[in-house]
Amino acid sequence: MLLAIDAGNTNVVFAVHDGHQWRGRWRIMTNAARTSDEYAVWLLTLMQMSGLRPIQITRCVIGTVVPAALYNLRRLCRDWFSTEPLVARAALDWGFAIRVDTPNDVGADRLLNALAAHTLYKGPLIVVDFGTATTFDVVDADGAYLGGVIAPGINLSIEALHQAAARLPRIGIGRPQAAIGRNTVAAMQSGIYWGYVGLIEGIVARVRAEYGAPLKLVATGGLAPLFAEGTQVIERIDQDITLEGLRLLCTRNPAPSLPSRIRAELE
């Protein structure tokens, strides 16, 4: 079985794949200071509730955009699953070209999304990920990663609006019934929601025009279903696309070996 770990700026997602299907998914808030033992107490309890045992895990893979979190996640894999994790990075075999100026600067999540999207849906396409940042990544017909767009995430924008304007409250995100808000909260909800719909449609239109050919659009992230209600440009939603990218990356790359020191300690 495979333990896949997707560490984002807001949450860390752990998931177990048995070779045929995902057997469980668990989410915890990202905290770079959280120790491997703290992860283990939480994760092993949830795995047990799903009928899974640590000894069943034969491979681990980590994709992270939070470098400070990597040390303890790697320790978790070594100490509790006796496995050296494969860490997603540009130097691995992705099966496609990374056609940007500095491949090592591309976030692992964006490459993982590109890998899974091309494998599952073929290209050319755009992957929109509604995370801490809202990213648009362009994948060529042959699977090559061409770059993309990074915009502030929805929740970041809401928080910035609240922090910068003394009289504006902190609001939740939702689809407003009308564009014209009759009160402050309704006006803010309209600006956030329809503003982001406009951002999505505008960026997708410009990318398609620049690319010069039709591009499919796949969306992921917790807010993808909400924004799909407000626009026709989102053709498909896939909430597991980053996890699928981690699984596919493992099929293309050999499992790393545990360092001899760690292996000796385990024995």
- Annotated catalytic residues are 109
- What amino acid is encoded at 153 in this protein? G
H helix intervals, the chain: 36-49, 67-81, 108-121, 154-164, 184-211, 224-228, 241-252, 260-266
Cis peptide bond N-terminal to 124, omega within 30:
yes
Between CA 40 and CA 18 the distance in angstroms is: 20
Whose tokens are 């009289």? That residue is 167
Who contacts 62 (Cβ-Cβ below 8 Å, separation ≥6)? Answer: 5, 7, 70, 73, 74, 77, 85, 86, 87, 88, 246
Judged by DSSP in three states, 219 sits in: strand
Residue type for position 224? A
d(CA 254, CA 87): 11
Nearest to 94 by CA among 117, 111, 81, 78: 111
Instruction: Give the whole-angstrom CA distance, residue 75 versus residue 16.
Output: 18
End-to-end CA distance of the chain: 22
